[in-house]
Amino acid sequence: MAELATADENVDKLVDGETRVVNEMVDRLEAAIDDTAARFTMPTEFVIPGNSTVSAALDLSRTIVRRAERESLRAAGEGSLAVAYLNRLSDLLWALARWQETASTPARRPG
């Protein structure tokens, strides 16, 4: 997040794809979300997080990223993709948490 912490007079020192978010970085997160969502049926109802230790950690991570997203609105310069990146990252964490919940849910026996 060097992009958000860089003073206006030093923006020209940022390197695309390393210290400045570029479209390809956001696109990679989109692809990871799509890949994760293709592995299971996404829930359509309200989700109560914490089904497993892993999914709970992912949900906590998502909460932290959402907070960073809100805070970065003030710091992001014109044309910055940092907020979009954080938004996609939080969505990826949500999808990963739901996937982990389905992976940790024991199969139900009929009857």
Residue 101 one-letter amino acid: E
Residue 111 has pLDDT above 50, yes or no: no
Q: Which two tokens stand for residue 8?
A: 């206006």
DSSP annotation of 9 reads: G
The per-residue pLDDT for range 1-47, each reduced to its tens digit, is 788 998 889 988 999 999 999 999 999 999 999 999 999 998 888 88
Kindly state the average pLDDT of the residues 75-89: 93
**In 10 A of CB 70, how many CB atoms?**
11
Q: 54: closest CA among 101, 7, 17, 102?
A: 101
Q: What are phi and psi of 26, to 5 degrees?
A: -65, -40
pTM, to two decimals: 0.85
> Rounded mean pLDDT of the chain?
90
Cβ partners under 8 Å of residue 94, min gap 6: 58, 59, 62
